[in-house]
Amino acid sequence: MTEIRHRTVATNGIQLHIAEAGEGPLALLCHGWPESWYSWRHQLPALAAAGYHAVAPDMRGYGRSDAPKEIDRYTVFHLVGDMVGLCDSLAAKQAVIVGHDWGSIVAWTAALLRPDRFRAVVGVSVPFFPRGPMPPTQMFKAVAGDNFMYILYFQEPGKAERELEADPTRTMRMLLYSASGSVPRDQGMRAGIPKTAGFLDALIEPPKLPAWLSESDLAYYAAEFARAGFRGGLNWYRNFDRNWELLAPWSDAKVTVPSYFIGGLRDAVVTGPGGTEPGPMVQMMPSFCSDFRGMRLIPDAGHWTQQEDPGATNKALLDFLATLT
């Protein structure tokens, strides 16, 4: 079995903990919220076996990496800068960058801003979409109305932290289950709850853990958030409007490097709530990328795509990487 090695490296003025495997061209794996390098535990050995130096950091604010206190130190410029600095620390002129969930936003933006450093990009769960016509929180308020919307709930510092950190094991158990493809189709995450609700009010307590998530997996996540807290990851959400302002010079710009998308058809991010086919943003994505090389939609996978179906995810990744010269 391929060994996964751990160390801490300096990048962009902070220290990042990384998990790595293999030797060869660099492939960076950026996790989302609320996760860690551990989200890529199935991909690290597969990429290493294919001849890549696979590296999965605990992203800024997570796990054993540094977590600055200031909210404005979690902009997408900081997050992309961390990945550029990580390439420098690993003595790599270029990398393939892969992202899941919020990590997809980092990966797509890295490819958009620095095609000289990121020679190809894969988004998992979250497609590339261009800068919108208004600040994101204004759009979210207009769409949500009087209903609960988690991104708006996350905006007030301390509020979500108190709820999520009260019992990290329960938080992670409910969230990992509720957003997965393991939930029966008639028991999805609750919609239409009032905006006065809490985040966990929309989630489901699983009768048992799904097959893709072991008790030791859950324990690892819970221990990481019990130690580091949720504030770092939540601060990413608190920069949505600031990111919108920062990215103004790249309005309507396309991703020019080879690109690919992987998503689960049980993921509401991909299909929309209750949907069974890819939603408009996924369907329009090829028009936003000048070298889009396809997508793999996994029938029974939910939001935690690479953990729920690592076999299909790994095959899709390796098939795409084989198209690169």
What pLDDT, on a 0 to 100 scale, did the predictor assign at position 276?
85
Q: Check: CB of residue 166 under 8 Å from CB of residue 234.
A: no
Residue holding tokens 């990966």? 107
- β 53-57/14-21 pair status: antiparallel
DSSP state, residue 325: -
What pLDDT, on a 0 to 100 scale, did the predictor assign at position 1?
62
Closest CA to 61 of 43, 78, 38, 86: 78
Tokens of 61: 């604010």
- In CATH, what number is assigned to the domain containing residue 200? 3.40.50.1820
In angstroms, how far is the first alpha carbon of the chain from the final one? 28
Spatial distance between the Cα atoms of 104 and 125, rounded to a whole number of angstroms: 8
What pLDDT, on a 0 to 100 scale, did the predictor assign at position 124?
98
> pTM above 0.95?
yes
pLDDT by residue for the chain (325 residues), tens only, comes to 689 999 999 999 999 999 999 999 999 999 999 999 999 999 999 999 999 999 999 999 999 999 999 999 999 999 999 999 999 999 999 999 999 999 999 999 999 999 999 999 999 999 999 999 999 999 999 999 999 999 999 999 999 999 999 999 999 999 999 999 999 987 767 777 988 999 999 999 999 999 999 999 999 999 999 999 999 999 999 999 999 999 999 999 999 999 999 999 999 999 987 788 999 999 999 999 999 999 999 999 999 999 999 999 999 999 999 999 7
22: Cα separation from own chain's centroid: 23
| Enclosing domain of residue 240 | 5-321
Closest CA to 238 of 69, 14, 72, 60: 72
Number of domains in the chain: 1
Closest CA to 289 of 147, 141, 115, 162: 115
Spatial distance between the Cα atoms of 257 and 254, rounded to a whole number of angstroms: 9
β-bridge mates for residue 255, sequence order: 289
Close Cβ partners of 276 (under 8 Å, ≥ 6 residues apart): 265
| Helix or strand (DSSP H, E) at 20 | strand 14-21
CA atoms within 13 A on the CB side of 258: 14
Please list the active-site residues.
101, 303
Closest CA to 320 of 101, 96, 115: 96
